[in-house]
């Protein structure tokens, strides 16, 4: 009978987020950090402890900065130096350049440099974009979050953006994981199978920098030396809204101010 199904639908209410550009995440979410310059010896000592405890070396003191491309968003640095490092719930962290992921005390947002975007991206992909996701040695967490972008809550497909199984049907690749040596050739084959013009999205702190595995002999990141990356997305894992906001900025659907 259809009536029980109607009752279930009514009990669920409206699950889809009406406006993805107006989403505000819970305060519990660790997003873009805000940095404050130390002014006392106590604060400097606390920052020294934060630098020592960071497993990926994401924090620098000369000058004071935090590299989102390396950050695992564990929050331990904010516990060590709460007066100088604070994580906000701002998910707008995607960048068009790797350099923009390094934030300083004067930065109140992650800059998105539109001049770094190739003009053909907006010309060909603004209305529809299909991507092939490649897990290049990842742990599966990024893949779960990317899959969530198409669920009933976010429904990113309404904007013409989705994932396809075949690179021959894709407009670009999304790379997750640190790019292991065992996946380096497979990633190159996948990239070559995508027709020109195509885009490259690097998703997650492991993909951005290698993360915990950056110094491992099992990693081969030479792919990033040969090909231009169009979008850098930090996170461990990357929240669906980080991906959605980054892609919409890349396509010129919104402007970060």
Residue ranges, the chain, pLDDT below 70? 1, 8-9, 11-14, 257
pTM above 0.85, yes or no: yes
Supply the pLDDT for residue 135: 97
Alpha-carbon distance 138 to 135, whole Å? Answer: 5
Supply the pLDDT for residue 257: 64
3-state secondary structure labels for all residues of the chain: CHHHHHHHHHHHCCCCCCCHHHCCCCCCCCCCEEECCCCCHHHHHHHHHHHHHCCCCCEEECCEEEECCCCCCCCHHHHHCCCCEEECCCCCCCECCCHHHEECCCCCCCCCCHHHCCHHHHHHHCCCEEEEEEECCCCCHHHHHHHHCCCCCCCHHHHCEEECCCHHHCCEEEEECCCEHHHHHHHHHHHHHCCCCCEEEEECHHHHHCHHHCCCCCECCCHHHHCCCCEEECCCCCCHHHHHHHHHHHCCCCCCC
Supply the pLDDT for residue 72: 97
Supply the pLDDT for residue 4: 79
Among the listed residues 209, 253, 251, 255, the one whose alpha carbon sits nearest the alpha carbon of residue 230? 251
pLDDT in tens, 80-104: 999 999 999 999 999 999 999 999 9
């Amino acid at each position: 009978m259809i009536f029980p199904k109607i009752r279930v639908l009514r009990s669920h209410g409206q699950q889809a987020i009406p406006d993805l550009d107006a989403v505000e995440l819970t305060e519990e979410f660790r997003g873009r950090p805000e940095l404050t310059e130390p002014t006392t010896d106590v604060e400097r000592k606390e920052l020294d402890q934060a630098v020592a405890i960071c497993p990926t070396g994401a924090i620098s003191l000369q000058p004071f900065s935090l590299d989102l491309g390396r950050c695992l968003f564990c929050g331990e640095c904010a516990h060590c130096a709460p007066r100088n490092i604070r994580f906000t719930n701002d998910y707008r962290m995607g960048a068009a350049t790797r350099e923009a992921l390094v934030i300083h005390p004067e930065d109140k947002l992650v800059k998105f440099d539109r001049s770094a975007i190739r003009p053909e991206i907006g010309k060909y992909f603004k209305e529809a974009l299909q991507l092939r996701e490649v897990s290049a040695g990842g742990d599966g967490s990024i893949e779960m979050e990317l899959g969530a972008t198409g669920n009933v809550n976010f429904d990113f497909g309404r904007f013409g953006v989705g994932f396809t199984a075949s690179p021959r049907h894709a407009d670009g690749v999304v790379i997750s994981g640190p790019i292991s040596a065992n996946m380096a050739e497979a990633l190159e084959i996948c990239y070559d199978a995508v027709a020109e013009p195509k885009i490259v999205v690097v998703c997650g702190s492991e993909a951005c920098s290698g993360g915990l595995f950056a110094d491992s002999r099992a990693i081969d990141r030479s792919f990033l030396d040969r090909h231009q990356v169009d979008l850098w997305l930090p996170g461990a894992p990357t929240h669906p809204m980080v991906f959605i906001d980054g892609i919409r900025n890349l396509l010129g659907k919104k402007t970060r101010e």
